[in-house]
Amino acid sequence: NAGVTQTPKFRVLKTGQSMTLLCAQDMNHEYMYWYRQDPGMGLRLIHYSVGEGTTAKGEVPDGYNVSRLKKQNFLLGLESAAPSQTSVYFCASSAGSGGGETQYFGPGTRLLVL
Amino acid sequence: GENVEQHPSTLSVQEGDSAVIKCTYSDSASNYFPWYKQELGKGPQLIIDIRSNVGEKKDQRIAVTLNKTAKHFSLHITETQPEDSAVYFCAASRGGTASKLTFGTGTRLQVTL
């Protein structure tokens, strides 16, 4: 099992460009999450999904969109990138059903917006 | 919403010594408290967790304690080794429909020889 994988590993964008980050998990998990990690701020939840076809906003959703068309994939989109979106993005998944489920994280995508 | 504070932000200990990282949370309804370890260039990995019906949990050299009344929980690492050097995050969750975690800001632990 590969666990949680993320594509790409690193990307440089110019302000105003768009891109999609792909997260895939092979653990048949119901729940998937997108976080961003900034220095001194820990991990902050952007969006999450409790099942195929569902999405919900997290703590910092502005400027991002997500889709969960297949259970194993969770896509994070930036329609018009801004320098403030320079960050490391982590995807995670969990089996679900309540706050006690372990979240498994991917290796991260480092995004630089110029 | 939940707010989790974590201290210290950096911690340096000698190999073999103990390390303690402390977190406080604000939401009295939180009932799940995991600790994650993040090595350089990698994603966070769960190392231990505790639920609100338990006061302490141990796993070899790692232990976590929870004080629900004071709303704080701590990670204890004994007999530290160089491979314990990493960034550690605490988190808290209320549970419910989705296990949304609120993370602390992290502690960079360095174990020196």
**pLDDT, tens digit, for every residue of B17-57?**
999 999 999 999 999 899 999 999 999 999 999 988 889 99
Q: Is residue B2 within 8 Å of B103, Cβ to Cβ?
A: no
Residue A64 at interface with chain B, using a CB cutoff of 8 Å: no
Region A14-25: mean pLDDT is 97
CB pairs under 8 A between A and B: 76
Residue B53 at interface with chain A, using a CB cutoff of 8 Å: no
The Cα B10–Cα A74 span in angstroms is 34
Mean pLDDT in chain A? Answer: 93
Beta carbons of A100 and B103 less than 8 Å apart:
no
Beta carbons of A103 and B42 less than 8 Å apart:
no
CA distance A101 to chain B (A): 7
Region A41-52: mean pLDDT is 93
Backbone angles phi, psi at A84, to 5 degrees: -70, -10
Q: Is residue B87 within 8 Å of B109, Cβ to Cβ?
A: yes
CA distance B68 to chain A (A): 17
Q: DSSP letter at B93?
A: B
Q: What pLDDT, on the 0 to 100 scale, is given for residue B57?
A: 94
Q: DSSP letter at A41?
A: S
Interface of A with B in 4-43 (CB under 8 A): 4, 31, 33, 40-43
Region A26-54: mean pLDDT is 93
Instruction: Tell me the torsion sign for CA atoms A59, B37, A4, A21.
Output: positive
Beta carbons of A4 and B105 less than 8 Å apart:
no
Q: Which of A97, A103, A98, A99 is nearest to B92 (CA)?
A: A99
